Amino acid sequence: MLYFKISRFLFPAVWLLALWCSAAAADTVWLKNGDRLSGTVRSLEEGKLVMDTDWGGTLSLNWSAVSTLNSKNQITLRNSQSGENYSVRLEAAEPGWLTVVSSNEQEEKVAVSHIDDFMKAKVKSDRLNWNGNVDLGINLKHASTETQDTNFAFNNKISHGKWRHDFGAAWNREKEDASVNTNNYSLRYAIDYTFREQFFWQGRASYKRDWVEDLAHQALIGTGPGYQFWDNERGAFSLSLLTGAFGYGYSDGTVDSHFGSSVRWDYQRYLRGKALTLFSHGEVGHSLDDDGIFTLDAEVGLRYALTSWSTLNIGYGRNLVSGTRDTLNERRFTTGLGVKW
């Protein structure tokens, strides 16, 4: 009986203690209206504070509504006047103020209104990180002609320690009445190994299949160095220089192969508190023999976050191959809905 009474009061106490510990481990933001939010503070830019929460996904808060905050993570604070960056911690103070703790544990109180730019510092980790998206667009038109346009894209990035994998696929089909004007798919895979702070070595392979054009097959395999300009809470940008083999196959079964090089870029920039994403990726290549083959495969677009997992996207792509037996010059406009993770 005594054990039952002790357990009756002990379990709620343990439960409350667990709740308190989990709250203490999270970042906390106090708003001027008295509300308090817990999660992970990501960044502040253009008056928008980005914060991840378990209960509401990624939130974008007006910085003018914030009274104070407490962050358990290291923060990169930017001085907008001098352009210098400082590694600090932000601790809560009285309403309207923050305590900025420097790397040597010196403290300084700063008004919230005087801080306008910071982001969560990038922490090296061996944990597996996986993100990606699926985009789907369908356009149906019934008038004097019947048009059916379908596009699908699948993109994935997996990083683990010094290794990074990038793989994906795309499919495009355009049909007008009984005539199929576009019908192709593409596959790609790249693996990166980071051997210095921002330098990596990349191996890449890609393949394209087309059932409409005379240039029915395109293949590339190459390897070379790359440089990561930045990869943080506001986006990423990298360039890689590859050398390898180009292969082209035609609808009649003939095949050409060439030795060449290419420059690959991958750019992503978050805007308006991660509500909008500007992205561009592509590759420019040229053969190193006398044939003078030039290739361009690029895409640029915008992705708008409807919810924490769904997006609305619009993009423009260009696929150009010149110097081969058949010159290929494709332009594509895509729009549709997507899922991200």
pTM for this entry: 0.80
Domain limits at 20?
A: 2-120
Same domain, 101 and 235: no
Contacts 24+ apart (CB under 8 A), 93-98: 93/68, 94/68, 95/30, 95/32, 95/67, 95/68, 96/67, 96/68, 97/68, 98/68, 98/69
pLDDT given for residue 56 in this prediction: 75
Same domain, 14 and 94: yes
Same domain, 103 and 183: no
- Tell me what the mean pLDDT of segment 58-83 comes to: 87
Same domain, 93 and 163: no
Calculate what percentage of the chain has a pLDDT beyond 90.
61
pLDDT given for residue 314 in this prediction: 95
Which of residues 120, 143, 161 is at a domain's end? 120
Number of structural domains (the chain) is 2
Which of residues 120, 141, 162 is at a domain's end? 120
Lowest mean pLDDT among 63-67, 155-159, 291-295: 291-295
d(CA 69, CA 151): 44
pLDDT given for residue 135 in this prediction: 94
Per-residue DSSP letters for 159-183? EETTEEEEEEEEEEEEEETTEEEEE
- Look up the CATH number of the domain holding residue 283: 2.40.160.40
